[in-house]
Structure 1
Amino acid sequence: MADFKQDAQALLKAVGGKENVSAVTHCATRMRFVLNDPSKADKDAIEDIPSVKGTFTQAGQFQVIVGNKVAEFFNEFTALSGIEGGSKDDVKSAGKKNMNWIQRLMATLAEIFTPLIPAIVVGGLILGFRNVLEAVQFDSLGGTIVESSQFWSGVNAFLWLPGEAIFHFLPVGIVWSITKKMGTTQILGIVLGITLVSPQLLNAYAAPGTAAADIPVWDFGFAQLQMIGYQAQVIPAMLAGFLLVYLEIWLRKVIPEAISMIFVPLFALVPAVLAAHLILGPIGWIIGSWISTVVYAGLTGSFSWLFGFIFGGLYAPLVITGLHHMSNAIDLQLIADFGGTNLWPMIALSNIAQGSAVLAIIYLHRGNKKEEQISIPAAISCYLGVTEPAMFGINIKYVYPFVAAMTGSAIAGLISTTFNITANSIGVGGLPGILSIQDGSWLMFSIAMLVAIVVPFTLTVVFEKRGILTEYKNDNLPIPKLGS
């Protein structure tokens, strides 16, 4: 077992001492602090600690990259400092005091959609595979795979079972996630979500083509309410979910505890279901349609190339602010309304571009063993869709790789929108992202991926060799002009 006592002691001093630590926990590779005064943290001193591989601040938390032995380091740190470690949720809550209202909103969106991403990624891969089976014409087969093989036809039909569960019944997951995030009764969220997609209702996909006279209704005598489902709809589910949780929170305050188990669920769920179908659902559907229509117009209109260039270039900075979490809701709304998303391919390309800039740093600084402990895992992580280690550990630290990655991503984004590259769904946001791309877009997405690899790598090398955005020390390693 490694001895982290000296390094833990140095870290405690460098973060401003015990009195400056409001909360601390750890994840798979990082120590995560909430500091009372973040300005007291000496980043240079922290990054000089042998066990530390980098630092960054995100979501109100000061995060110190330690590596796979972070649990051992954390135990040594808490034993030495006398600070009791908190749970991740406790640290997240404490970290919000260091965030403005926009950051809090984005953090909330992240906490809602993050638990859903594994299922959505699987759904995207399933849709992509089914697309190959049923839509791609093969000359050697004289048609599609499902037309020439009963086995693959059966596989294709079977895969729609989980595919439909993930996307058509997405509101169930959204409402559940909201109740989980807000700490209210999760089963009520699941039930509310089911009432939005129940088989009793007219399917949302069939509603636009159904005559008004044929739409089923609940007839209350003095009024009628249309029985329309909200399959795959994001905004209606979010509005209904938040109404449910705030109703429950309020009711628990006003209803006596002795009868709360009976009446809180009743008076929270039934009004929420009614409001969801009477008010929130229709309003949310309209809002969601407006958002997706505007974004889709930008992605496919006359100036789509400009939209792609700007979004591709600025997506990485959005990740730094946390505003990128809005894209999950927009992607899902685009999928519901248009059968695919033109936005997500640019996100995958941005991730690849960040990884390519790090790859150039690995090449330029080969032999720097300490940096390679950060850069090599960060590059791999980027190519598999997770960019934070690369951006905060390498690219933003040196500045010029970050600029190179943004430039490559902007050009790749321009290609993506110019050629209307479309994904079936959110997928693995790096090199494996091609599996989620619709078959008609594979060639151009491959070209865009090549651009996202070559341009950032080349620009990073050129910037360092020519001293653009850099200054040089005697050891010939770049120091960012804007500071670390």
Structure 2
Amino acid sequence: MDHKKIAQEVLDAIGGQENLSAAAHCATRLRLVLNDESIVDQSKLDQMDEVKGTFSTGGQYQIILGSGTVNEVYKHLAKLSGQNEMSTSDVKEAATKKLNPIQQFVKMLSDIFVPIIPAIVAGGLLMGINNILTAPDLFIEGKSLVDANPEMADLAALINTFANAAFVFLPILIGFSATKRFGGNPFLGATLGMLMVHPDLLNGYNYGAALLDNDVPVWNLFGLEIEKVGYQGTVLPVLASSFILAKTETFLRKFVPSALDNLLTPLFSIFITGLLTFTLVGPLTRSAGNLLTDGIVWMYDTTGAIGGIIFGLFYAPIVITGMHHSFIAVETQLLADVVKTGGSFIFVIAAMSNIAQGGATLAVLKTTKNAKIKGTASAAGISALLGITEPALFGVNLKLRYPFIGALIGAGVSSGFVTLFQVKATALGAAGLPGIISIRPDTIISYIIGMAISFAVSFVVTIILAKRDAKKTANQASEQAAA
């Protein structure tokens, strides 16, 4: 394989050196920031055997080349274009400048929550294991595994403690990540998070009951009463407070003498932000967060299957825009308050959509005669079933259009089904076949049936549309020949 030739062809197709603003690569893709994406010669890229697919997201134009190949092509591309070695984070920063305010907001949420997802996933999956051990009627009629085997009780309790840690102390994780994203000291952000879940405060989960009993503890500062309430499992309060902390710290560093900076800046940053958090920011954002969660749960419970169908139909288009990253904050709140919400329905809808994309892509594999598309579809279809849809979505389905339509129909039908049966996840994870372990135990069977519906409907509809598309193409060809 002539990697230099491939790099030159890619460079020519994207508009040359002058159209390339920044470049990096990940495991399988070139990640490029282009000055003008409209001048890209898409047909030329599509004709290249080495190019497995292309898509544009978050201000980046990405070209799928595959593991191993992408490294070598990038080396030559950097030399040919005069680009310095850049990391993917450098390219992300360059791409952010091209985004509109809404896209920048979504990217901000993504930057904050993506780093803490492993902790949430670990806690959520451990919660799922605990549910399997303690859920009655799952394996034994009228009993749970712990009821039938009392010696497992402490194991379940241990797992439950491990599972709850990430959610009980969620403000610490968010405080660290958000303050870092906003330009402040992340360790001050973690300290702010610790302050918000300090054991001297009334546990946030008990706030509602204490409010009804008129038994909420307070600090009395010269006649001003401040509620001593924690923010366990919350998202909006710590996000807002982290922003204030970062900006307060930045402001103070401009005026505090350098000799006193390490002493006074952290002191005043934490004190000012902490005071604002408990007097103003926390109570307001707690109420806003509760209203948002209650509203989403109400919409899900009220609209039922119709709402699920609509969400399922629109989930893949939302992924194309990148707006799905904004769901991370909502899902985190739903999972943090799982006793009240029952879990996240967003994860389940995402899984139905991903399975549908995989089913449609594998239908293309069965029907197409194009060797290059077959090669892409085989790997991309399996990847989508496992929860990674970008190769299928951008490399096959959107390019051919009819499989994308088939996938939307499959996602809509299956999403209506899982919504009807109130299927919810108690953890984040891979939204696809491996997602079974993230699902609430009493709804696992319905989740499996939903995945089967999603795959079958999208697969069959795509085959029907493929035959119609082939017939239409043949008719057009015969008309052109006759003309």
Contact between 1:123 and 1:166, CA under 8 Å: does it hold in 2?
A: yes
Give the Cα separation in 2 of the matches to 1:271 and 1:421.
Answer: 44
Question: Offset of 1:375 from its aligned partner?
Answer: 2.1
Q: Deviations over 1:316-350 (max 9, x none)?
A: 10011111122222222223142422232111111
Partners of 1:76 and 1:375 lie apart in 2 by 28
Matches within 5 A, 1:107-256: 107-137=107-137, 140=140, 143-210=143-210, 213-256=214-257
Higher helix residue share = 2
* Contact 2:138–2:441 (CA under 8 A) maintained in structure 1: no
SS at match of 1:64: strand
Aligned ranges for residues 14-413 of structure 1 at < 5 Å?
A: 14-69=13-68, 70-137=70-137, 140=140, 143-210=143-210, 213-301=214-302, 303-335=303-335, 336=337, 337-365=340-368, 368-413=370-415
- The alpha carbon displacement at 1:188 in A equals 0.8
Q: Distance in 1 between matches of 2:140 and 2:442?
A: 19
Aligned partners of 1:208, 1:373: CA distance in 2, in Å? 56
* Counterpart secondary structure, 2:204: coil
| Alpha-carbon distance in structure 2 between the residues aligned to 1:316 and 1:402 | 9
- Aligned mates of 1:192, 1:377 — CA distance in 2: 45
Larger deviation, residues 179-188 vs 410-419: 179-188
Once the 2 structures are TM-superposed, how far is the Cα of residue 155 of structure 1 from its aligned partner?
Answer: 1.8
Contact 1:7–1:50 at 8 Å: present in 2 too? no
Q: By how many angstroms is 1:134 displaced?
A: 0.8
SS in structure 1 at match of 2:404: helix
- Which moves more between the two structures, 370-379 or 96-105? 370-379
CA positional deviation for 1:124: 2.2
| Cα separation, 2, equivalents of 1:258 and 1:373 | 63
Shift of 1:457: 0.5
Contact 2:331 2:344 in 1 (8 A): yes
3-state SS in 2 of match to 1:22: strand
Instruction: Label 1:280 to 1:475 Cα distance change in 2 as closer, same or farther (>3 A).
Output: farther
For structure 1, the residue ranges without an aligned partner over 5 or more in a row are 477-484
Report SS of the residue matched to 1:45: helix
Q: 1:140: Cα distance to partner?
A: 4.9
3-state SS of paired residue (2:56): strand
Q: Are 1:121 and 1:428, in contact at CA under 8 Å, matched by a contact in 2? A: no
Matched with 1:479 is: none
* Structure 2: 5+ residue stretches without partners: 479-483
| Identity percentage of aligned residues | 37
Deviations 1:216-260 (A, max 9, x none): 322324222111111111111111111112222223333344433
Question: Could you say if the C-alpha distance between residues 200 and 462 of structure 1 is closer, same or farther in structure 2, counting changes exceeding 3 Å?
Answer: same
Q: How large is the RMSD of aligned CA atoms in angstroms?
A: 2.2
Kept in 1, the 8 Å contact 2:125–2:163? The answer is no
What amino acid is aligned across from residue 59 of structure 1 in structure 2? G
Q: Name the CA shift for 1:459/1:196 in 2 (closer, same or farther; >3 Å).
A: same
Letter in 1 for 2:219: W
What CA distance in whole angstroms lies between the structure 2 residues aligned with 1:312 and 1:174?
Answer: 29
Give the 3 Å change call, closer, same or farther, for CA 359–162 of structure 1 in structure 2. Answer: same
Counterpart Cα distance in 1 of 2:235 and 2:52: 39
Deviation at 1:141, TM superposition (A): 7.6
TM-score, normalising length: structure 2: 0.92
